[in-house]
Amino acid sequence: MKGITHYLTRIAQDRERGLVVMLLSPLVWFLSGLYAVAVLIMRGLYQAGALKVFRAPVPVISVGNITAGGTGKTPFVVMLYKLLKDQGFSPMILTRGYMAGQTGPSDEAEMLKDLIGPVVFIGSDRVKSFRSAFVSGRFDCIILDDGFQQWGFKKDLDIVMIDAEAPFGNGALIPRGILREPLSALSSASMVVLSKTERVLPQQLGLLKKRVATLAPEVVLAVAAQHVSGVRELFSGVEIFLTDIAGPAGAFCAIGAPDNFKRTLDSLGVEVKLFVAFADHYRFNGEDVQTIVEDCRALGVRNIFITHKDAGKVKAVAGSFAGIRIMIVDIDVVLTYGKTEFISSIAGLHRS
């Protein structure tokens, strides 16, 4: 099943070619059409009041996507949480825990819990999660993670993240493309944040700003960039300086955009001799990790880099790492444009 999902994802991203893709194309386009109709009906029912919308007693800030795949949403949620704390708020975070399975919460949910702590609550039914976790006086606002399609949850600030490097894919809806909704849905957002802008040229960023302004002229626009905030050892948590890392390195990941991780390591001057990319959200087993470790030993590699998103899964299958250091690359988000408007929107939220 995971293999099929991975293959369909590659079709949606136009990363698969050949006869099979050509034969599947009519079916995939038909399914995209059905999906579009379903999305429009559901959104319309909520907007018309035919389906009930839950209103929390405290302000709700949603951070979501109009596309499937990584937009840098999780580190942005962490940045937003810290900003809210600086503004005097006491936020709680509601997350679905996407692709959570029998082994526990999703990669993103684990990452949020690791970075933020016990104010992160996981559940597919966000209203139910709120009702079971909310304590009046302890929390005075909500961050609704991956909330743009949560039409049944009333939001005071609806933020949509767009990956500047691959903003809308091929323009088609799931499963033929990566869009979760038609682009016209952007006009219902409060704010659009263009993310990962450090990876695009100024001309590309300018064109994307114009495109968003055309699609959603009333929406506040902000621009964000990612940067490496540090490197630390997986098991001890000890910070490691890149100057202390000598010789070639290995790396592996299970994220939506593995090429981005590889480019990040390249930008740090790391000589990556072995790089292994698994499917997004893949749950490593002991054999996977041990094979990579042994391959690195054979190549004379003694340092292996992983993403924060994968850290919990690697810890869970820890094997014999004698002589090998596993290191997490931590990523932060900074607003490079629209920060004043962003902070004003936060400050304008009214506590109950």
Q: What is the DSSP letter of 199?
A: G
**Tokens (6 digits) for 124:** 């597919």
In the chain, the amino acid numbered 73 is K
Residue-wise pLDDT for 293-311, tens only, equals 999 999 999 999 999 999 9
- Per-chain mean pLDDT for the chain: 90
Residue 100: pLDDT band (50, 70, 90) is very low
Residue-wise pLDDT for 146-162, tens only, equals 999 999 999 999 999 99
Q: Is the pLDDT of residue 89 over 90?
A: yes
Residue 40: pLDDT band (50, 70, 90) is very high
Residue-wise pLDDT for 263-288, tens only, equals 999 999 999 999 999 988 888 888 99
Residue ranges of alpha helices (H) inside the chain are: 2-12, 19-48, 73-86, 107-116, 126-133, 202-215, 258-267, 286-298, 308-316, 339-347
Q: How far apart are CA 35 and CA 15, in angstroms?
A: 21
What is the pLDDT at residue 102?
47
Rounded to the nearest 10 degrees, how much is the dihedral formed by the CA atoms of 108, 189, 31, 73? -20
Sequence-distant (≥ 6) Cβ neighbours of residue 247 within 8 angstroms = 271, 300, 301, 302, 303
Looking at the domain 60-227+334-347, which fold is it? Rossmann fold (3.40.50)
CATH number of 228-331: 3.40.50
Residue ranges of alpha helices (H) inside 87-236 are: 107-116, 126-133, 202-215
Residue 317: pLDDT band (50, 70, 90) is confident
* CA pseudo-torsion sign 216, 225, 144, 314: positive
Domain ranges of the chain: 60-227+334-347, 228-331
Is 228-331 in the same CATH topology as 60-227+334-347? yes
In contact, 335 and 222? CB cutoff 8 Å = yes
Q: How far apart are CA 18 and CA 50, in angstroms?
A: 45
Sequence-distant (≥ 6) Cβ neighbours of residue 275 within 8 angstroms = 250, 251, 252, 258, 262
* CA pseudo-torsion sign 199, 203, 206, 212: negative
Average pLDDT over residues 30-58: 95
Residue 99: pLDDT band (50, 70, 90) is low
**CA 127 → CA 52, 53, 112, 157, distances in Å?**
12, 10, 19, 17
Average pLDDT over residues 302-321: 87
Average pLDDT over residues 79-97: 93
What is the pLDDT at residue 316?
84
Query: Residue 224 — left, alpha, or beta (φ > 0 → left; ψ -120 to 50 → alpha)?
Result: beta
Q: How far apart are CA 106 and CA 103, in angstroms?
A: 9
Residue-wise pLDDT for 174-207, tens only, equals 999 999 999 999 999 999 999 999 999 999 999 9
Residue 12: pLDDT band (50, 70, 90) is confident
